[in-house]
Amino acid sequence: MLGNFFCKILHEIFNNNDVILVWQFIL
């Protein structure tokens, strides 16, 4: 849940799908 929250923040900051892929890989 917190991961999803940070993932959305990172996505808005970088606006890049790669950020989400990396974040999901870490989690």
One-character DSSP codes across 4-27: HHHHHHHHHHH--HHHHHHHHHH-
Whether residue 4 is predicted with pLDDT greater than 80 in this model: the reply is yes
The pLDDT value given to residue 5:
86
The pLDDT value given to residue 16:
66
What is d(CA 15, CA 1) in angstroms, rounded to the nearest whole number? 20
The SS3 of residue 27 is coil
The beta strand positions in the chain, using DSSP E, are none
pLDDT in tens, 5-23: 887 887 777 776 676 777 7
Question: Rounded to two decimals, what is the model's pTM?
Answer: 0.36
What is d(CA 25, CA 4) in angstroms, rounded to the nearest whole number? 13
